[in-house]
Amino acid sequence: MFGNATQPVAAQPLAQSVKILIAGGFGVGKTTMVGAISEVAPLRTEEVITENSSGIDDLTGIEGKKTTTVALDFGRISIDPGLVLYLFGTPGQDRFWFLWDELSRGALGAVILADTRRLDASFAAIDFFERRGIGFCIGVNCFEGAPVYTPGEVRDALDLDEHVPIMTCDARDRGSCKEVLLTLVEYLLARAGG
């Protein structure tokens, strides 16, 4: 572009865009996190949980849950002028896991949200990303009345390597979600040798 015939206008550098997954078990707060952090209106594919899911979806510990993601959640956050994160929230129920392969294509990393009331719901997501070599961090979503454990205790319970970042968060709080995402980006950079 030219400002006038003799002097070019400096081009703005393009921001790097990165695909990040927000993953975890059913009802851990993935949709909530994407909605809390996104700087654009998030895309949600939520449907009301009906009696048809009885015996299919395990609502133990999350009996008050009324809706569920049936495809994905999508949001975006600019970390700084040079880095934009595109966030893809995965569905949590086993019956929608076939979508995870498609959603993970091109993903640089993932946040696995965990609920201390149901830590075992995190194992499948951890296994998914470990098998594909996709770096991840654990965000322990602090639900009211849930047991509180140290990151070391969570690491032991989930059988994670020492290098995997683990931090507590509140998926409803934008600042808390941003800290988790920054931790993930720093971890991914260190892992890549950058």
Percent of the chain with pLDDT over 70: 74
- What is the arithmetic mean of pLDDT over 24-48? 83
User: Strands, E, within the chain: which ranges?
Assistant: 16-24, 43-48, 67-80, 83-89, 109-114, 135-141, 166-169
Taking only the tens place, the pLDDT of each residue in 116-173 is: 998 998 999 999 999 999 999 999 999 888 899 999 999 999 999 999 999 999 999 9
Q: How far apart (Å, rounded) are the C-alpha atoms in residues 186 and 193?
A: 11
What are the residues facing 168 on neighbouring strands?
140
| Residue 9: predicted pLDDT | 57
Strand order in the sheet with 67-80: 43-48, 67-80, 83-89, 16-24, 109-114, 135-141, 166-169
In 3D space, the residue among 168, 25, 132 whose CA is nearest the CA of residue 89 turns out to be 25
Q: How far apart (Å, rounded) are the C-alpha atoms in residues 84 and 86?
A: 7
- The overall average pLDDT reported for the chain is 83
pLDDT of 50 strictly over 60: no
Angle at which helix 174-191 crosses helix 30-37, to 10 degrees, equals 100
Q: How far apart (Å, rounded) are the C-alpha atoms in residues 46 and 50?
A: 12
Residue 107 pLDDT class (50, 70, 90 cuts): very high
**Exposed, middle or buried, 129 (CB in 10 Å: 0-12/13-18/19+)?**
buried
pTM of the entire predicted model: 0.81
| Residue 79: predicted pLDDT | 84
Taking only the tens place, the pLDDT of each residue in 15-32 is: 688 999 999 988 899 999
Q: Which two tokens stand for residue 62?
A: 């999350």
Are 112 and 180 in contact by the 8 Å Cβ rule? The answer is no
Question: For residues 171 and 14, which has the higher predicted lDDT (pLDDT)?
Answer: 171
